[in-house]
Structure 1
Amino acid sequence: MGKAGKALKQVLSANGISQSRLASTLGVERPIVFRWFHEQTDPTAETVAKIVEILRELDPGAASEFIHLYLGDESPSSPSAASVISAQSLPESNQLNISALSRLFSDTTNSYKYLFFLSLLDILNRRQFEVLSPISFQELIVEMIANAWYPHTFFKLSFGKQDKIAQKLDSLALNIEEPILQFKDSDKKLLRKAIASQDLKDAVSHLRRYVPFRLIVPFLETELEGISRGKGNQVDLAIPAIADRYFEDKKPLYRFDATIHKDCHSIIVHPDWAAYLERYYVIVRGWLAWEWMRYMQSRNPSTPAIANKLFVPTKRNSLGKQTDYWKVVLRSQELRCIYSQQLLNIEKLSLDHYLPWSFVAHDQLWNLLPTVPEVNSSKSNNLPNSTYFRKFVELQHIGLTITYKNLTKGQWTRQVEPYILDMRVNKQEDLLDLQKLFNAYDQLINPLVSLASNQGFSTDWIYTK
């Protein structure tokens, strides 16, 4: 929660753009922008795209800065915000064909090109952009599968029905260690090791046939004129020799370790491109992340928080404030776990995401309920059986009613803002009416449960000792 809000707050403040002006231009009510600004709620991926377009109209530099903060590297070594350009353009170069780079993902219908280029960037970054050693197809494909694991396997996003990367991931019997699940494997070392231990011959055979060759077509368009791209596509076969012949003249992103298609096993990145990618790594990766997000949003149009599900999460946010909320409730009334009926202990409290965090990717209070640690661990990222739904709403109603009495008006108003925004209730007092609350939850939760189920989240979980 709050990644877009943090970026928006910094950008609006630094560039003198008022919340009211953004709201008016965006066509939304000011309180909605206020909630983003104060990190109470996050805009959807579609809304983020609209925010970028509006910021471009108001101040192109602000749009660039927002994209950088939202998708880019926030390390101290990152270039200043003023040097970051828009997601739809890249830094120019007198020696390189930047227009070709910007067309890498034109007319892309599957995930391969995005994952291949992302993996190439990751490998180059780990190698500190040293290009004397070739990068094997095997290494690239292991990296591609690792980059696909979090969005597809952990967050259960769709890459498309015919996507071979997703199919290969589904077929692997990976030994996923705890650091991976706890987001402590930020460089994907453990994940890559687990993937590399599998039989990847069919994946390597399939992906090496097309992806590495077609990715660099934009750099050699003129040289490929007249070569058939229809039935019996000859471009893939011709690319290795052409890339080698024009490596110093046209400077494609890379060439291959052989000039005959069937003999190619590695790529050799052009030194000038390695230097460019090193210098502008943050910008190029931010541009790629933006393009990748747009593609994945098109494949998962109703899925919440797409931007938070595409890469290895850095860490989970603390639930300290949410825990304090439920402790206020427990100090006023004894509560039982809705799953196990155990009496809740305020000193040994665990908060469960009713809809799994790996689906919603947020920690909104309306989706959190107190439980006991062993029950929370047992539930994991499963969807609870529908028999728990009414108990869940009743527990939420108890929490809202007690905190309404025990918190100041201002405190309670801030706590319930996400309820009002996401459930679209007419007024705060409706949250205190059990039937109205139940109706609001019913309209919000059930479509999300159906969507999560369709994405592959396990359903009908029931707690058993």
Structure 2
Amino acid sequence: MGKAGKVLGQVLTSYGISQGKLAEQLGIARSNVHRWVAEIRDPNSETVQGIIAALKVINPDAADEFIGLYTSDLAVGQDALAEASSGAWINPVTGGFERLPDAEGLNVAALSRLFDKTATSYKYVFFLSLLDILRRQNFNIDSPISLRDLLIEILVNAWYPHTYFKLSFGIQDKIAIKLDSLELDLDKPAFDESEKNLLREEISKRNLDSLLVGKDSLMRYVPFRLISPFLSQQLKAYKSQNRGATRNDDLENEIIMALAEQYFDTAKPLYKFDGDSPKSCKSIHLSPEWISYIRINYPIIKGWVSWEWLQYMQSKNPSTPAISNKLFPQLRRGALSSQAKYWQKILEYTDEINCIYSNRPLRADSKLSLDHYLPWSFVAHDQIWNLVPTFSDVNSSKSKIIPASIYFDAFVRVHYLGLQTWKRKMSNDGTWKKFIDSYISDLRLSSKDDLTDFEKLRKAFDSTFQPLTSLATSLGFESGWTY
């Protein structure tokens, strides 16, 4: 009893925020806040979200610390809960379960256990780097991924939090030491996603042999141990047959490598290795089925891994506020010219579309502004299905906040009307296929006919946006905006 209230009391004291100030921001009586802090009554999950939103207004660093402390308590018992719930993970804000999407024939429960009993950052950064490379390669199923490229990407992803904010990766972790040994000096006052290519080039020029192979290499264990959850039964059987044998880490790598090859088509581990031994491995070959799964569910998986890494780094830097803003460099946004032309063309043929927030009519001669329904800084893409036409003043007012659920039906309706209009008037236009492909693949629709079936389209939007919204809220994005 009193878990959230206890954490709230610590945060209010640390940041000098009075109970009255928080009560005023929440629009409630001060006595309610007193009951929480005194651990007489704990706020429910909906109220916790309101507390976070209120703290963000008063002091964003206090909000971040509240999230970090509150979710560190929720993490207790996570292993048992994850195993019992077959691939579920805890939404740290609500305390409820979220689930990585199931897929027939794939062991999603094993995927959800990738980070069990993790004492260093290696697995988190390795998997994040694997996702980044897959996306850059456009999820090409025929391209193996070299361990050297993965190492470079790991160093790139670790460089920003280490260099800019001096975050600790843990006592046992050697990533920071290895980065310092490369003596990278970009001499840049700021760093964003667009500079990653420059950093990759700089790192690739260095001699990385000692980081790839050898007793102290960053790649000695993680590529092998990461996929062990997929081969748990086979590993258990092997260890049972060899009970009493002296534990040998290098031998265990060899066993995992051999099992990944042997059971690649049955147990379906995430990947297998080339080479005859761990020391001779140069690359990994991902399962085509897992590549397809990751491509379809990329935002969810990336958000889940990011959250897991955030949890780990929060535990290693408990007194550092705003950790979530210090792990990932800010991305630069692309132009929305083709998307703007898409909606402009639609408005030339229909007068049924209004701004979903202000209800003002949108017409072809309107000064169109495109809003990312889920914030761009969360999804980091400009896919048409997350964009909705509005007015610039409305868009500026909304900023990076997730809109209240009252707008969701109108959001889906606008996309439905847009797709209907485009199909009726411009289905022979080559750009039609370009835009419908992202709807079909990303919303996991069966066919293009589903695009103009409102119920099927709404169901697809709902099943995609619900988990993404939960993830965004978990990562600290403000929600519930109204115009």
Question: Under a length normalisation based on structure 1, what TM-score does the superposition of the two structures give?
Answer: 0.52
Instruction: Give the distance between the partners of 1:262 and 1:32, measured in 2 at CA.
Output: 52
Matched, 1:190 2:194: no
Matched, 1:48 2:64: no
Matched, 1:211 2:222: yes
Specify the SS of the correspondent of 2:218. helix
1:3-402 equivalences under 5 Å are: 25-26=42-43, 35-36=54-55, 38=57, 41-49=60-68, 89-178=99-188, 181-186=189-194, 188-205=196-213, 206-225=217-236, 226-227=238-239, 231-233=247-249, 234-314=251-331
Q: Is the 8 A contact 2:221 2:253 kept in 1?
A: yes
Instruction: Give the distance between the partners of 1:232 and 1:296, measured in 2 at CA.
Output: 29
User: CA 1:245–1:157 in structure 2 vs 1: closer, same or farther (change >3 Å)?
Assistant: same
Gaps of 5+ in 2: 1-25, 37-41, 75-89, 333-483
Q: 1:102-135: CA deviations, max 9, x gaps?
A: 1111111111111100100000011111121110
Q: Which is worse superposed, 166-175 or 183-192?
A: 183-192
Q: 1:383-416: CA deviations, max 9, x gaps?
A: xxxxxxxxxxxxxxxxxxxxxxxxxxxxxxxxxx
Q: CA deviation at 1:186?
A: 3.5
Structure 2 counterpart of 1:395? none
Specify the SS of the correspondent of 2:60. coil
Q: CA deviation at 1:193?
A: 1.0
Q: 1:394-453: CA deviations, max 9, x gaps?
A: xxxxxxxxxxxxxxxxxxxxxxxxxxxxxxxxxxxxxxxxxxxxxxxxxxxxxxxxxxxx
Structure 1 counterpart of 2:479? none
Instruction: Give the distance between the partners of 2:140 and 2:48, measured in 1 at CA.
Output: 50
User: CA 1:87–1:299 in structure 2 vs 1: closer, same or farther (change >3 Å)?
Assistant: farther
User: CA 1:19–1:110 in structure 2 vs 1: closer, same or farther (change >3 Å)?
Assistant: farther
User: CA 1:302–1:273 in structure 2 vs 1: closer, same or farther (change >3 Å)?
Assistant: same
Instruction: Give the distance between the partners of 1:280 and 1:86, measured in 2 at CA.
Output: 20
Question: Under a length normalisation based on structure 2, what TM-score does the superposition of the two structures give?
Answer: 0.51
User: CA 1:30–1:170 in structure 2 vs 1: closer, same or farther (change >3 Å)?
Assistant: closer
Q: 1:342-371: CA deviations, max 9, x gaps?
A: xxxxxxxxxxxxxxxxxxxxxxxxxxxxxx
Q: Which is worse superposed, 169-178 or 114-123?
A: 169-178
Q: Is the 8 A contact 1:237 1:260 kept in 2?
A: yes
Q: CA deviation at 1:208?
A: 2.7
Gaps of 5+ in 1: 1-17, 56-62, 68-84, 316-465
Q: Is the 8 A contact 2:62 2:321 kept in 1?
A: no
Structure 1 counterpart of 2:457? none
Instruction: Give the distance between the partners of 2:125 and 2:73, measured in 1 at CA.
Output: 29
Amino acid at match of 1:132: D
Specify the SS of the correspondent of 1:313. coil
Instruction: Give the distance between the partners of 1:135 and 1:29, measured in 2 at CA.
Output: 42
Specify the SS of the correspondent of 2:272. strand
Instruction: Give the distance between the partners of 2:141 and 2:97, measured in 1 at CA.
Output: 26
User: CA 1:86–1:243 in structure 2 vs 1: closer, same or farther (change >3 Å)?
Assistant: farther
Instruction: Give the distance between the partners of 1:88 and 1:103, measured in 2 at CA.
Output: 14
Q: 1:176-203: CA deviations, max 9, x gaps?
A: 153xx42344461111111111121111
Structure 2 counterpart of 1:455? none
Amino acid at match of 1:269: L
Percent identity, aligned pairs only?
Answer: 44
Instruction: Give the distance between the partners of 2:124 and 2:97, measured in 1 at CA.
Output: 15
Instruction: Give the distance between the partners of 2:281 and 2:140, measured in 1 at CA.
Output: 21
Specify the SS of the correspondent of 1:255. strand
